[in-house]
């Protein structure tokens, strides 16, 4: 069974002012685990990036019992599910030092042609990732609905938010969201998050963001002339 596993101790760069793991950093760690595991499986940059193919995440979700905290030693696990035509499912778990599950997550990834920005058939390029069933999988993500109401903010993509794929990195959408909604700055405990990345935004482009409060959480939508992202965040 091929399950990627890595341990790390959370440092000051990893946590927010409440000494909990930052949401964007959590998704960065999961992204890094996905890349490292893919490399271990023989599908690294020689098979993708060096051939003009980009890995892009399309949907993500996480169920959180407790966010890990500053100086805590955690284990991050990641494994691939069975490929779904054009999409690569991937699963994640974060465990504490005693092996208790702090959170579980899932994502759908795709291979995209660097020039056309369209999904490609992985088998045409020999990109094959065997899936695993561990029994620890949570449901795969589905697109959150659009937030109702008028746009409440406009956000211009800065240089520091753009990654090697040439667009605003997926993890930065969590920073954008938490800067706009009060629950994060109030220190409320995150319990669930789901996000769809529908289209890219590039350096200097502006996103109109709408926010709708929904009971214990928020729906957020970001748009240009196109649908960019949809996000659902729930708190304790």
Cβ neighbors of 220 (< 8 A, separation 6 or more) are: 147, 177, 180, 181, 209, 210, 211, 212, 229, 230, 231, 232, 233
Percent of the chain scored above 70 by pLDDT? 100
Percent of the chain scored above 90 by pLDDT? 92
* CB hemisphere CA count around 162 (13 angstroms): 12
**Kindly report the CA angle at 229 between 155 and 113, in degrees rounded to 5?**
105
The tens digit of pLDDT for each residue in 110-159 reads 999 999 999 999 989 999 999 999 999 999 999 999 998 888 999 999 99
| Global confidence as pTM | 0.94
Query: May I ask the CATH class of domain 4-125?
Result: alpha beta
Query: Does the domain formed by 151-235 have CATH 3.90.800.10?
Result: no
User: Where in the chain is CATH 3.10.129.10?
Assistant: 4-125, 151-235
């Amino acid at each position: 069974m091929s399950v990627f596993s890595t341990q790390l101790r959370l440092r000051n760069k990893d946590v927010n002012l409440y000494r909990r793991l930052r949401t964007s950093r959590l998704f960065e760690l999961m992204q890094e685990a996905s890349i490292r595991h893919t490399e271990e499986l023989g599908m690294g940059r020689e098979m993708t990036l060096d051939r003009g193919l980009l890995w892009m995440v399309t949907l993500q979700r996480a169920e959180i019992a407790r966010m890990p905290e500053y100086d805590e030693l955690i284990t991050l696990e990641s494994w691939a599910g069975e490929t779904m035509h054009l999409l690569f499912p991937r699963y994640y778990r974060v465990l504490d030092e005693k092996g208790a599950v702090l959170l579980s997550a899932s994502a759908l990834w795709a291979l995209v042609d660097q020039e056309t920005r369209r999904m490609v058939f992985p088998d045409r390029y020999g990109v094959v990732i065997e899936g695993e069933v561990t029994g620890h999988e949570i449901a795969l993500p589905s697109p959150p609905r659009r937030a109702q109401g008028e746009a409440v903010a406009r956000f211009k993509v800065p240089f520091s938010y753009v990654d090697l794929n040439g667009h605003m990195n997926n993890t930065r959408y969590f920073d954008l969201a938490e800067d706009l909604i009060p629950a994060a700055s109030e220190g409320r405990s995150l319990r669930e998050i789901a996000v769809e990345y529908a289209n890219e935004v590039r350096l200097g482009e502006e996103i109109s963001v709408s926010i709708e409060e929904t009971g214990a959480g928020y729906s957020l939508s970001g748009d240009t002339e196109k649908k960019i992202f949809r996000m659902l965040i729930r708190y304790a």
